[in-house]
Amino acid sequence: MQYGLIGEHLGHSYSVPIHRLISGEDYELREIAPADLGTFMIRKEFRAINVTIPYKQDVIPYLDEISDTAREIGAVNTIVNRDGCLYGTNTDAAGLQALIARVCPDIRGRKTLVLGTGGTSKTAVYTAKVMGAEPVIRVSRSAREDAVTYEEALRDHRDAEILINTTPCGMFPAAEDMPVDITGFPELRGVVDVIYNPLRTKLVLAAMRRGIPAEGGLYMLVAQAVRAAEVFRGIRYEEGLTEKIYRRMARDKENIVLTGMPGSGKSAVSSILGARTGREVIDTDRMIVEKAGMEITEIFRRYGEKHFRDLESEVIREAAACAGVIISTGGGAVLREENVEALRRNGRLVWLDRKPEDLVPTDDRPLADSREKMAALYAAREPIYRATADERIAVTGSAEDTADETESRWNA
């Protein structure tokens, strides 16, 4: 192996595409069992590697030299083989510093809570202190000498201004979880979550709804990778490379979610976009039919609308967990807040807005099988579509025209 990443489980890693965008060189993922780590490190059959969970501390005894940053944090994520001598450092701190600066440019003197007491929390405490945060308080589920409990944080530190989540709470597949209720911290000025799968955790979305700057961990992942690649090769990359690669990764991983009235063209537009981009197309109405084993009209006739909506929420949770796909939703998908939140975790919602007089009622749409029903439905749902949309595209031409506009907005 020339360059790569070692860890125990790497199935969800984004490191290969990120490093290929940085250098264009091959970058491998190498899963290593704990019992085999020693052999791998002693053989030193690599030029440079990154290290992830659970080996960031375990690799230290095999190193000949370690940076001050890595020594202070107590964790190494980047190792370079210099003619048989292994040098280790920590670029996670640089990545997190870039993410914090993006969310809240100046945290000097601001009370900062670091959620979690694992290895990443040490990086967060170190980084927040380096950036001037004061005080920096760790928060743990259980009482510890150097950390307060969540109950104590809500009681004694309601004036916290910065929140950094380093716990896995909210990470796929437990995306419904949230480490803390941020309404307990009314002075918050910024929320940082190191989780990048999903792109926006429940914690990040809760902060964004309240107008608090917040972001997930993808930017940190890219920034630390750029710094690691510089350490690998002993060079400096051009200013702005992190931002450039982050935008590319975010666009590639984010789902295109089409919303809008029945008959607005979601299915046709998603098919066209899928063919053009190579992205998988997921149709949530089709998923419901497959899961129920019957057509939607039959579900409504036998079990009523609530049963249908429950099925819809179930399939939306499944679809929303995907990354880099196109999701064509049913007309009522955005009626439930839980659906909108699930879709937002990895997606951008694009509302295809076709005028009600141009919508064609059909018999297979129980709530829109006449012009009168269609017009009433549009009047009731238009404010919801508008409020939940990240992008609104007026549908005035062909499906090709709408796909052109959608693609143009996406790539802007």
The residues annotated with a catalytic role in the active site are 56
- Pair 261, 394: CB distance under 8 Å: no
What is the C-alpha separation between 258 and 267, in angstroms, rounded? 9
In the three-class reduction of DSSP (H, G, I as helix; E, B as strand; rest coil), residue 271 is classed as helix
| Beta strand residue intervals within 260-345, DSSP E | 281-283, 326-328
* Strands in 90-213 per DSSP E: 112-115, 136-140, 147-149, 162-165, 190-193
Name the CA radius of gyration of the chain, rounded: 24
Q: What is the H or E stretch that residue 102 is in?
A: helix 92-103
**What distance in Å separates the CA atoms of residue 20 and residue 118, rounded to the nearest whole number?**
29
Residue spans of alpha helices (H) in 200-265: 202-209, 218-233, 241-253
Within 10 A of 104 (CB to CB), how many other CB atoms are there?
23
Cα–Cα distance, 347 to 327 (Å, whole number): 9
Spell out the residues 6+ positions from residue 247 whose beta carbon is closer than 8 angstroms to its own: none
Token pair of 256 as six digits: 């295109």
Query: Six-digit token pair at 75?
Result: 């964790």
Determine contact, residues 270/283, Cβ cutoff 8 Å: yes
Are 202 and 174 in contact by the 8 Å Cβ rule? The answer is no
- Whether 395 contacts 386, CB under 8 Å: no
263: region left, alpha or beta (phi > 0 left; psi from -120 to 50 alpha): left
Closest CA to 223 of 239, 212, 207: 239
CA-wise closest residue to 319 among 339, 296, 292, 294: 339
Q: What's the rounded Cα separation, in Å, for the pair 260 and 177?
A: 28
